[in-house]
Amino acid sequence: MTGRVEARLKELDISLPKPMTPVANYVPYVISGNLVFVSGQVTLGANGLEFVGQVGKEFNVEQGQAAARLCALNVIAQVREACGGNLDRVKRCVKVTGFVNAVPGFAHHPEVINGASDLIGQVFGEAGKHARAAVGAGSLPRNVAVEVEAIFEIA
């Protein structure tokens, strides 16, 4: 389906990945009323898991931002699936929560999660402005550097 958001993706030269299949006992998203709750998305790229390791050890802040951006691509892919392929149904990104697998003492979680927030803003414009939490974690699933979950309002 082509629409305003798909045109924006094309303009940004972004192709969304195939939505990830859950690896445990959960669903990739839940629709409740007009909200889509997207489960945490990790750094799964075309060749499998990317950015495996800790920010502040194996990865710097800029690489952490790239990891968060990859997570956001996976989030948007799940939202597209939830919307039956029509991202123009997205009225707003309500909230993003980002988790950073970081070394003790790391203090730049917000800057890392900007990689996800910036992408969502670029794709959805004004509707991409959201509330957010950026949280440090001692570890994440499969030892990925970042995980991002989000809530979207849809029509």
**Superfamily per CATH, domain 1-14+51-142:** RutC-like (3.30.1330.40)
Element housing 150 (H / E): strand 146-154
Q: What is the three-class DSSP state of 85?
A: coil
In the predicted model, residues of the chain with pLDDT beneath 70 are 1
Query: Does pTM top 0.85 for this prediction?
Result: yes
The C-alpha R_g of the chain, in whole angstroms, comes to 15
Element housing 32 (H / E): strand 29-32
What pLDDT was estimated at residue 104? 97
What pLDDT was estimated at residue 76? 98
What pLDDT was estimated at residue 149? 98
What pLDDT was estimated at residue 17? 95
